[in-house]
Amino acid sequence: MTMASEAAFEAFFRDVGEAIGADNLDRSTETLTRYGENTMPAGDRRPTGVVFPGSTDEVSIVVRLANKHGVPLYPTSTGFNQGLGTRSAPAAGMAVIDLGKRMNRILEVDETMGYAAVEPGVSFQAMADELQRRGGQWMVSTTTGPPQGGMLGNAMDKGAGYGPYFDHFGFSCGMEVVLGTGEVIRTGDGSIDHDVGELFNWHVSKYSFGPILDGLFAQSNYGIVTRLGIWLLPRPPAIRSFHFTFPDDDDLEAIIDLCRPLKLTNFVPTLFRVSNDLYLIASEETHPDYAATGGKAAISDEARKALQNKHGLGSWTVSGAFFGPSMEAIEPQIKRVQDHFGASGKATYIDHTDALAMPPLKCAIDAFSGVPTTQELGMLKWRPGGGNAWFTPGTPMDGKTANEFQKLGRAIYEANGLDYTIMNVCGPRFARGLHVLTFNREDPDESARAAAAYTELADAFAARGVHVGRSPIDFYGYHMEKAMPAFREACEAIKRALDPRGVIAPGKYGIG
Amino acid sequence: MQTAFTPRQLKDPGIAEAAAILKDCVHYGFCTAVCPTWVLLRDENDGPRGRIDLIKAMLETEGRPDAKTVRHIDQCLSCNACMTTCAAKVDYLHLADVARIHIERHFKRPLPDRALRALIAAVVPNAGRFRRAMTMAGLARPFARVLPGRLGDLIRIAPRRLPPASPIGPGIYPAEGERRMRVALLAGCAQQALAPHVNEATVRLLTRHGCEVVIAQTPCCGALTLHMGKERRALAAARASVEAWSAIAADGGLDAVVVNASGCGTTVKDYGHLLRGDALGERAAQISALARDVSEVLFEIGLNEPDTIRPLTVAYHDACSLQHAQLITAPPRALLQTAGYRVVDVPEKHFCCGSAGTYNMLQPQIAGDLGARKARHIESTGAAAVAAGNLGCLTQIGLHSALPAVHTVELLDWATGGPMPPALEGVAIPDPQDADMANAAEAGGDGPVGIW
């Protein structure tokens, strides 16, 4: 959309203040500075104002006013989209709708059916606390990102956890959405025209009459989701983890081939976290050669090996967990995976008790157990200066392919003087490769190298037919350009249908 | 974060320290979402990131700090939840100390504020004065409503009854059986007046577990005055403590300085930093290295087999000074479980209860809101009692909840041969056999929502 005039923005904020209260609007300098901050190479993007609606009706009012004045809106939930833009809009000058400040209610917890309905501001920590308060019978699937990150926003952005309910969008059910016109719809069984009494199946049945619209609202291009049903997992009495560490970079090929059958049969109920050395160690350390090299060189193999030895971890470490009635009852499954990985001749086993004393592996145990954790955030200080961007391609669960992708990615990091940091989150057929780019954002040269590394990675993987799952705000358009033209046009056509004035997050993920 | 201090400013050790800390902050903002005052007030300047910016501006700008900055820094609990969340590992604890000392030196507070702070600084760190003040507060309680401002608030939060003075005082308490450790115990200040039974339980527990306990004549550890920015008094207290414990170490050796009030423990563990550059700096560092929370020492020694299993359900409250400053969360829980208690976590356990040293005296509104919130969460667990390792927390929780609040050491002492904690008088204690049956059912793995 074309950016509205200054007068249009002024009129919009005046009308919003009158409609939902001037207290629910903030245009102070310090607030605008904060909301524009991110960790990207391309810098901060200051909005023109921040609006705090308190209900779906108020969101609808704000969207209608944005239509009236032609003002672009950028919705955020809790604003912790770490490494992908935090809560900054892709472009400066938008009006932010912060849904986290006032719409942070857990609307419903059904302890019979095992679901919760939440507003956008409900964090993983808040839900974990609430489930604990209710007696701890249920657990939430949590990420290893910030505990205060939003469940709804994470699900809508196709985020994931590590347990059986890891697919946060897939395990959501039933939405309330404010469309780009300001109209409000419910999806799934909630779409029945029934405003009196309960909507019994809204949050228990994903597929109802009519097309399955929910997927359209992933990535938040076509509407603002103000309520989401999220399925909960009964908490098992015992969760026992297992870990295997491998010495060499090229062991990834064997690891992936070892993990695949365990997931195809669902013998292991969690995903596998296949993390490289730096992904685990960076949270406990800083780059040892940073001062000596001025940050211009990737960590040396010798320094990597020294850190591996210090932490008792090899080039790759595999983590998974079993659920069961007691720790003892899980013993046969543990023995089975020990034999399975042991057959490789290269795996060193780390048991659950020892792993609890190793912070990077304790983090994995927390992740499998639905316990929000801050441990992994420590990797952001591997290099100084606060720069951080995540590149998220994937690989089929074929060892040879995964290892080829490893070599490809590692070479690009090293060529740009950056440190290859990755976790492959492995299911039965696919692993998402969470590539972490940590860089000194206060150093223009290093920042430029991070941006270059990112686009080289994107180009190299795209050349092999591999897309990304999510994207940092700097590269929304870059990735969308790699989609086939007819796909792009289809996305734009849906945008025109549901958000004809293009007020909802224009430019997000390269749409609108 | 870039700073703009002049070379002249950086000659001030406090400014130099702050400058180094400020450089680490990159504004991720994880700290903000876990900050209790930000959660309550939703003001950027009432979260750590905003306060860090305010401190930076205050220190860079010479002259009198502005009242707005002082208000936002005063409203910081120093709970350090921001530090355990911070990805960049910003040393907010010491930055806040620098800021408070700067304010104390350069900002003239309104007279009632100055008077209140002077009163607290003179009375609370002195056990004798504090006890007399509490007695007077009891007499003045009927008039609390008509007393001006904060004075009325102070009287309202004072305990209704003071326990009798304790026989535990300076001296040597020999180990029972073979001596395994020789430890100095910080007797504390307010704790001696408000809850002398905590020190009594600690001495019984430690001696029963083979520790010779030495209690020296030490003043307040300095934490209370340090957090009010009164550096000179804090340093004097720290020096006196270091000298006293160093003398004990020189005369018979010392394996640990044991602290049973975790707010104090955090400061004692920081003596090396506090007195760096001081004539006592080296000895202060040695004392810091010896300083241990009582739960750390007992966890290391290993708890005796409990005399009687009393399967009381206990909500364990993590004092901020233990979980965020000293990073001690597992040992107290493990000890309580070993002692036979059923330990449950408190929802929102990362959140401060509002006690925070003198905070509930200086910021009664926010402290009250946090206390009520914490009490609701504790009571939601259905526990029969709440345990914590810091008297300030126990006192604050007691203001907002009728649930018995006991120190961890009282429960451990009771389980291994000591008397029942006074707060548990009248509480129904579950029968161990009933608890065994419940545990057996639980161990089968079946519950109302899952079959395993």
Q: Do B33 and A234 touch (CB under 8 A)?
A: no
Phi then psi for A166, rounded to 5 degrees? -65, -30
Q: Answer whether B36's CB lies under 8 Å from B351's CB.
A: yes
The answer to whether A32 faces chain B, any CB pair under 8 Å, is no
Q: 319-348 in B: which are within 8 Å (CB) of A? A: 345, 347-348
Q: What percent of chain A has pLDDT over 70?
A: 99
B166 confidence band (pLDDT: 50, 70, 90): confident
B146 confidence band (pLDDT: 50, 70, 90): low
Instruction: Count Cα atoms within 13 angstroms, Cβ side, for A6.
Output: 0
How many C-beta neighbours within 10 Å does residue B167 have?
A: 8
Whether ipTM > 0.95 holds is no
Q: Do A380 and B45 touch (CB under 8 A)?
A: no
Residues of chain B neighbouring A377 (CB-CB closer than 8 A): 28, 30, 85, 87
The answer to whether B87 faces chain A, any CB pair under 8 Å, is yes
Q: Do A123 and B33 touch (CB under 8 A)?
A: yes
Q: Do A237 and B28 touch (CB under 8 A)?
A: no
pLDDT at A423 over 90: yes
Q: What is the mean pLDDT of residues A230-255?
A: 97
Q: Do A133 and B381 touch (CB under 8 A)?
A: yes
**Mean pLDDT over the full length of chain B:** 91
A2 confidence band (pLDDT: 50, 70, 90): low
Q: Closest Cα partner for A229 from A177, A165, A152?
A: A152
Q: Tens of pLDDT along B236-245?
A: 999 999 999 9
Distance from CA of A67 to the nearest CA of B (A): 29
By CB neighbour count within 10 A (0-12 exposed, 13-18 middle, 19+ buried), where does A393 fall?
buried
Q: Tens of pLDDT along B399-452?
A: 999 999 999 999 999 999 999 999 999 888 887 776 665 565 555 667 778 887
The whole-number pLDDT of residue A4 equals 85
Which residue of chain B has the CA closest to A439?
A: B26
Residues of chain A neighbouring B53 (CB-CB closer than 8 A): 30
The answer to whether A444 faces chain B, any CB pair under 8 Å, is no
Q: Tens of pLDDT along A59-110?
A: 999 999 999 999 999 999 999 999 999 999 999 999 999 999 999 999 999 9
Residues of chain A neighbouring B29 (CB-CB closer than 8 A): 34, 37, 79-80, 86
B350 Cβ partners below 8 Å, 6+ apart?
A125, B34, B81, B84, B318, B323, B324
CA angle at residue A168 from A165 to A174, to 5 degrees? 105
In a 3-state reduction of DSSP, which class is residue A239?
strand
Q: Do A385 and B26 touch (CB under 8 A)?
A: yes
The beta-carbon neighbor of A132 closest among B29, B53, B345 is B345
Q: Do B33 and A442 touch (CB under 8 A)?
A: no
Q: Do B449 and A323 touch (CB under 8 A)?
A: no
Q: Could you tell me the two tokens for A473? A: 């705000």
The whole-number pLDDT of residue A198 equals 86
Residues of chain B neighbouring A37 (CB-CB closer than 8 A): 27, 29
pLDDT at B254 over 70: yes
Q: 473-512 in A: which are within 8 Å (CB) of B? A: none
Q: Do A374 and B33 touch (CB under 8 A)?
A: no
Which of B1, B3, B27, B451 is the mutation pick for testing A, counting most A CBs within 10 A? Answer: B27
Q: Answer whether B369's CB lies under 8 Å from B300's CB.
A: no
Q: Closest Cα partner for B90 from B42, B149, B23, B156?
A: B23
Give how far Cα A230 sits from Cα of A115, B45, B252, Å: 5, 33, 62
The DSSP symbol for A167 reads B
Give how far Cα A464 sits from Cα of A454, A458, B254, Å: 16, 10, 66
Alpha-carbon gap, residue A354 to A365, rounded angstroms: 11
pLDDT at B151 over 80: no
The beta-carbon neighbor of B87 closest among A86, A324, A377 is A377
Q: Could you tell me the two tokens for A378? A: 């420590």
Report strand pairing: A316-324 vs A238-246: antiparallel
The answer to whether B450 faces chain A, any CB pair under 8 Å, is yes
Residues of chain A neighbouring B69 (CB-CB closer than 8 A): none
Residues of chain A neighbouring B50 (CB-CB closer than 8 A): 30
Q: 281-340 in A: which are within 8 Å (CB) of B? A: 323-326, 329
Instruction: Count Cα atoms within 13 angstroms, Cβ side, for A184.
Output: 15
Q: Do B450 and A236 touch (CB under 8 A)?
A: yes
Q: Do B45 and A37 touch (CB under 8 A)?
A: no
3-state SS of chain B is CCCCCCHHHHCCHHHHHHHHHHHHCCCCCHHHHHCHHHHHHCCHHHCHHHHHHHHHHHHHCCCCCCHHHHHHHHCCCCCCHHHHHCCCCCCHHHHHHHHHHHHHHHCCCCHHHHHHHHHHHHHCCCHHHHHHHHHHHHHHHHHHHHCCHHHHHHHHHCCCCCCCCCCCCCEEECCCCCCCEEEEECCCCHHHHHCHHHHHHHHHHHHHCCEEEEECCCCCCCHHHHCCCCHHHHHHHHHHHHHHHHHHHHCCCCCEEEECCHHHHHHHHCHHHHCCCCCCHHHHHHHHHHEEEHHHHHHHHCCCCCCCCCCCEEEECCCHHHHHHCCCCHHHHHHHHHCCCEEEECCCCCCCCCCCCCHHHHCHHHHHHHHHHHHHHHHHCCCCEEEECCHHHHHHHHHHCCCCEEEHHHHHHHHCCCCCCHHHCCCCCCCHHHHHHHHHHHHCCCCCCCCC
Which residue of chain A has the CA closest to B40?
A: A101
The whole-number pLDDT of residue A246 equals 98
The whole-number pLDDT of residue B436 equals 63
The whole-number pLDDT of residue B451 equals 83
* The residue type at A66: A
Residue ranges with strand state E in A147-267: 172-179, 184-186, 223-231, 233-234, 238-246
pLDDT at B99 over 90: yes
B164 confidence band (pLDDT: 50, 70, 90): confident
Q: Could you tell me the two tokens for A167? A: 């697919």
B28 Cβ partners below 8 Å, 6+ apart?
A39, A82, A86, A377, A380, A386, B86, B87, B88
pLDDT at B110 over 80: yes
The answer to whether B313 faces chain A, any CB pair under 8 Å, is no
Q: Do B445 and A236 touch (CB under 8 A)?
A: yes
A168-177, A398-407, B45-54, B440-449: segment of lowest average pLDDT = B440-449
Which residue of chain B has the CA closest to A80?
A: B30
Q: What percent of chain A has pLDDT over 90?
A: 96
More confident site: B188 or A143: A143
Alpha-carbon gap, residue B41 to B44, rounded angstroms: 9
Q: Do B27 and A386 touch (CB under 8 A)?
A: yes
The answer to whether B428 faces chain A, any CB pair under 8 Å, is no
More confident site: B124 or A281: A281
Distance from CA of B422 to the nearest CA of A (A): 28
Alpha-carbon gap, residue B353 to A156, rounded angstroms: 34
By CB neighbour count within 10 A (0-12 exposed, 13-18 middle, 19+ buried), where does B164 fall?
exposed
Q: Do A374 and B30 touch (CB under 8 A)?
A: yes
The beta-carbon neighbor of A380 closest among B88, B443, B449 is B88
Alpha-carbon gap, residue B203 to B216, rounded angstroms: 13
pLDDT at B1 over 90: no
pTM of the model: 0.91
pLDDT at A255 over 70: yes
Q: Tens of pLDDT along A297-318?
A: 999 999 999 999 999 999 999 9
The whole-number pLDDT of residue B435 equals 64
**Chains A and B: how many Cβ contacts under 8 Å?**
101
The whole-number pLDDT of residue B440 equals 58
Residues of chain A neighbouring B450 (CB-CB closer than 8 A): 137, 234-236
Q: Do B350 and A125 touch (CB under 8 A)?
A: yes
Q: 347-406 in A: which are within 8 Å (CB) of B? A: 374, 377-381, 384-386
Q: Tens of pLDDT along B302-346?
A: 999 998 888 899 999 999 999 999 999 999 999 999 999 999 999
pLDDT at A357 over 80: yes
Phi then psi for A161, rounded to 5 degrees? -105, -150
User: Positive or negative, the Cα torsion across A236, A237, A238, A239?
Assistant: positive
pLDDT at A356 over 60: yes
The whole-number pLDDT of residue A476 equals 97
Q: What is the mean pLDDT of residues A441-468?
A: 97
Q: What is the mean pLDDT of residues B90-116?
A: 94
The answer to whether A80 faces chain B, any CB pair under 8 Å, is yes
Q: What is the mean pLDDT of residues B56-75?
A: 94
